[in-house]
Structure 1
Amino acid sequence: MVLTRKTGWYSAEKKIVLTIASAILIASVSVFAILYLMMSNALQEDIRARARVVNAYAESHLNLEGFANINTLADMRRDTYQDTQSMLDNIRQIANVRYLYTAKSNGGGQPIYLVDGLPPDSSDFRSPGDLIEQDIVPMLNRCLSGDPIESDGVLNTEWGAIFLTCMPVHASGGARPVGAVVMEFNADVIHDSKLRAMIYSGALALVIVGCCTVITMLCLRRLATPFYKKLAYTDMLTGIGNRTAFELELKDLEKKLPRSLTIVAYDLNYLKQLNDTYGHAAGDAYLRRMAHLLTREEPVSRGLSFRIGGDEFVTLFEGEEKEALLWGLELFHMAGAQAEVNGQPVTFSYGVASYDPALDKGSLHNTLSRADALMYRFKKAARGES
């Protein structure tokens, strides 16, 4: 049977595609989040480990007198400043720290720079007494109160992305810190990696979602189109072609006329009696039994059968010799009488007509009408009517 009608894009298919696309997108975002967190945590843990080593070394080598004696720009000439600055600069370079400096609170309780580990000619160099930038003041205030500080993740400041640690420095026996050692590690690599990862993973996720959506749509169309065609053109009770399928088949065959084509029309007997006596379930079984015979028994199994009405069936034959077909149909009629449903043999009347260009004039419906007329003549004869 030739079925070429196109099916639409159904809401069920849309839901499947949207569900798959959403699942892929969620999975992509989840994978990105997990990988980014693992990478970020690994980098931050590395920074923390380096910070602890640097803090321990710096604290053990610091001259605590500098926290008391260094307050202004003029104090940079002191040996204490010179020695501390040289030590911090060396540590900063060895440990690859962006900024390393000491700090304390001034008379007004504001955090200020003491010794900066940058070279004095650096553009970012801070002199003793310079106020510390507001971005990190809250953290330094806590540190100068005695709490060791490690920033929770990357801080985005005016001078870039940093990971900050601050270790309070205590004088011997002192309860309150005299100052702090502050380290700012360059976290641009983490920040930039996050941004690149977001862009790349987002683009990759969209590409994957797009490809999977297209593939899913194509697969669904390949699977759904035959399914919907079968659903639209199949008689749900008997499983053979319905009236719509029959009409489409006739239309296709009419394009190929003239050719050897025979139509057999059937009309079941006693269907109403079965329905009235045993109920519609028995009637349905009677119809299914007839359809089963049409698809299994010779010669009708060589043709294409349809249920076109309540108890009406049709078989289309191409290239069959009519005389041989008539003989075979008589045998088929007898085979039906041996099949029973609730004790009722499957009996039917039938009529056979072959396409005749002179009589049917290019219309297979005219051929069907002649087959119907012969079928009703058969039915009347079986009832003993003239």
Structure 2
Amino acid sequence: MEINKKFNRVDMQVSILTAIIVIISSSCVYFFNYALTYNDMIYTLSERSRHIYKYVEKNLDKDTFIEINSEKDHSKESYKSAKVLLESVKNTTGVMYLYTAKKTKDGSLVYVVDGLDSSRSDFRNAGDLIEKEIWGDLNKALDNNILLPKKIKKTSWGHIFISYFPIHNDVGKVVGVMGIEFEAKHQYNTFRFISIVTPFIALLTCLISALVAVILFKRISNPTYTDFANTDYLTGLKNRNAFEIDMNNLNNSNLKQPISIMSIDLDGLKKINDKFGHQTGDLYIKNASKIIQDVINKKHIVYRVGGDEYIIILKDSCHEEIDSIVNKINLKIIEENATNELNLSMSIGYAVFDENLDNSLFDTYHRADSEMYCNKRKINKND
């Protein structure tokens, strides 16, 4: 029940709505930007691979795929020219691995020319078997397919962007494959970091936005458009409904402090309405409300419970303090009447909760109301 009440509050609904909007918008921005930048990275690497492929296929000696079968063939001119070409392209373009491969008669896939420096430990000689985890892609390339990946691939030798291209002889027949591998560890780690951190940032933004929405709603919206069910529209004070709710809550709680009720009734409001109209009557009410609010401090609550009736719940106040409040209100009225021809007047009565006299705070209110009417009769008698 308590949870339902909280969710029925407008500020809570605003915060939830704000959080939902932030989550949806953040998710859309995240997925759009992630997809856009990731696809752009893949596209850039693909285009670089295509340009390398076109250049190598145009200048590569295709005889290597026939003449070169083992390490002993490294001395052949076709191997040497192909080796110089691949090393030059690799060093110029920043490729991690650049090599050619072919299928042997027994169906194995072997290296033909490796673009790495022959002094490196990971250099592959002609005829060395290619790692079997990439045989599937190489076979597709040998079937005259260009293989460009849609994502970074994780292999036993790191995160790389691998593309495979068929190499054709002069009559257009596929005689081998060229493998191009770009190191992509940096790109992989960057996008992994984005995918992990962005949801946390979105969540934090969501929480901050919800909190800001609640604060702003309370500071901006609520003072202007306060809860209409519990607020008097004309004066901005609490209304009768709020008074009865608060009184019931106070009655149901343990009264650990003295509580007093003050009843105030405006004198002559009907005459002002009849003589000057309801607009002037509203001004009369507003002036009275301002005087009461100026005197009553924030620990006490003021209610406008009728056209000309006010009730004040005073917490932890003694008779002397309440008498002081009544005197201050009367002085404010005198000051107001000195500059305003409406001749404002109020009848005031109060009572302090007494366990011997009152079964509830409503009894205290009735005693305060009776005193107010007694004082009103005195004013009318004097008039």
| Fold shared, TM-score > 0.5 on shorter chain | yes
Choose from 178, 183, 188 the match for 1:186. 183
In the TM superposition, residue 117 of structure 1 has moved relative to its aligned partner by: 1.0
In the TM superposition, residue 125 of structure 1 has moved relative to its aligned partner by: 1.8
Matches within 5 A, 1:295-314: 295-296=283-284, 308=305, 313-314=309-310
Contact in 2 for aligned 1:168/1:179 (Cα 8 Å): yes
Choose from 33, 38, 41 the match for 2:39. 41
In structure 2, the CA distance between the partners of 1:321 and 1:256, relative to structure 1 (3 Å rule), is farther
- CA separation in 2, counterparts of 1:121 and 1:198? 39
Contact in 2 for aligned 1:21/1:212 (Cα 8 Å): yes
In the TM superposition, residue 8 of structure 1 has moved relative to its aligned partner by: 6.5
1:320 and 2:316 correspond: no
| Range moving further from structure 2, 147-156 or 34-43 | 34-43
In structure 2, the CA distance between the partners of 1:243 and 1:37, relative to structure 1 (3 Å rule), is closer
1:235-281, CA deviations, whole angstroms, 9 ceiling, x for partnerless residues? 579986534666889x9xx9899xxx984378999xxxxxxxxxxxx
Matches within 5 A, 1:338-349: none
Corresponding residue SS for 2:169: coil
Query: Residue in 1 aligned with 2:16?
Result: 18
In the TM superposition, residue 187 of structure 1 has moved relative to its aligned partner by: 2.1
In structure 2, the CA distance between the partners of 1:22 and 1:364, relative to structure 1 (3 Å rule), is closer
Matches within 5 A, 1:1-386: 11-173=9-171, 176-223=173-220, 226=223, 231=228, 233-234=230-231, 241-243=238-240, 263-264=264-265, 293=281, 295-296=283-284, 308=305, 313-314=309-310, 318-320=328-330, 352=347, 366-372=367-373
In the TM superposition, residue 157 of structure 1 has moved relative to its aligned partner by: 1.9
- CA separation in 2, counterparts of 1:93 and 1:217? 59
In the TM superposition, residue 98 of structure 1 has moved relative to its aligned partner by: 0.9
In the TM superposition, residue 355 of structure 1 has moved relative to its aligned partner by: 6.5
Contact in 1 for aligned 2:263/2:365 (Cα 8 Å): no
- CA separation in 1, counterparts of 2:60 and 2:332? 115
In structure 2, the CA distance between the partners of 1:65 and 1:8, relative to structure 1 (3 Å rule), is closer
CA RMSD of aligned residues (A): 4.8
In the TM superposition, residue 177 of structure 1 has moved relative to its aligned partner by: 0.8
| TM-score, reference length from structure 1 | 0.64
Corresponding residue SS for 1:123: coil
Which is higher, the Rg of structure 1 or of structure 2? 1
In the TM superposition, residue 179 of structure 1 has moved relative to its aligned partner by: 0.8
Corresponding residue SS for 1:53: helix
1:111-157, CA deviations, whole angstroms, 9 ceiling, x for partnerless residues? 32111111223232222233322333222111111122322232222
Contact in 2 for aligned 1:265/1:375 (Cα 8 Å): no
Corresponding residue SS for 1:215: helix
- CA separation in 2, counterparts of 1:238 and 1:300? 10
In structure 2, the CA distance between the partners of 1:177 and 1:308, relative to structure 1 (3 Å rule), is closer
- CA separation in 2, counterparts of 1:298 and 1:154? 72
Corresponding residue SS for 1:319: helix
Contact in 2 for aligned 1:351/1:376 (Cα 8 Å): no
- CA separation in 2, counterparts of 1:356 and 1:152? 82
| TM-score, reference length from structure 2 | 0.65
In the TM superposition, residue 207 of structure 1 has moved relative to its aligned partner by: 3.8
* Residue identity opposite 1:115 in structure 2: V
What count of residue pairs does the alignment treat as equivalent? 326
Contact in 1 for aligned 2:83/2:114 (Cα 8 Å): yes
- CA separation in 1, counterparts of 2:242 and 2:280? 18
Q: Identity rate of aligned residues, in percent?
A: 25
- CA separation in 2, counterparts of 1:164 and 1:195? 19
Contact in 2 for aligned 1:300/1:315 (Cα 8 Å): no
Corresponding residue SS for 1:192: helix
- CA separation in 2, counterparts of 1:200 and 1:44? 22
- CA separation in 1, counterparts of 2:132 and 2:58? 29
In the TM superposition, residue 100 of structure 1 has moved relative to its aligned partner by: 0.7
1:70-117, CA deviations, whole angstroms, 9 ceiling, x for partnerless residues? 223333343332332232112111111111111111223333211111
In structure 2, the CA distance between the partners of 1:168 and 1:370, relative to structure 1 (3 Å rule), is closer
Query: Residue in 2 aligned with 1:339?
Result: none
In structure 2, the CA distance between the partners of 1:162 and 1:236, relative to structure 1 (3 Å rule), is same
In structure 2, the CA distance between the partners of 1:294 and 1:245, relative to structure 1 (3 Å rule), is farther
Query: Residue in 1 aligned with 2:315?
Result: none
In structure 2, the CA distance between the partners of 1:290 and 1:113, relative to structure 1 (3 Å rule), is same
Structure 2 residues not aligned, in runs of 5+: 251-256, 293-301, 313-325, 358-363
Corresponding residue SS for 2:117: coil
In structure 2, the CA distance between the partners of 1:238 and 1:320, relative to structure 1 (3 Å rule), is closer
* Residue identity opposite 2:17 in structure 1: T
Structure 1 residues not aligned, in runs of 5+: 1-6, 270-285, 334-349, 380-386
Corresponding residue SS for 2:154: strand
* Residue identity opposite 2:329 in structure 1: G
- CA separation in 2, counterparts of 1:11 and 1:323? 38
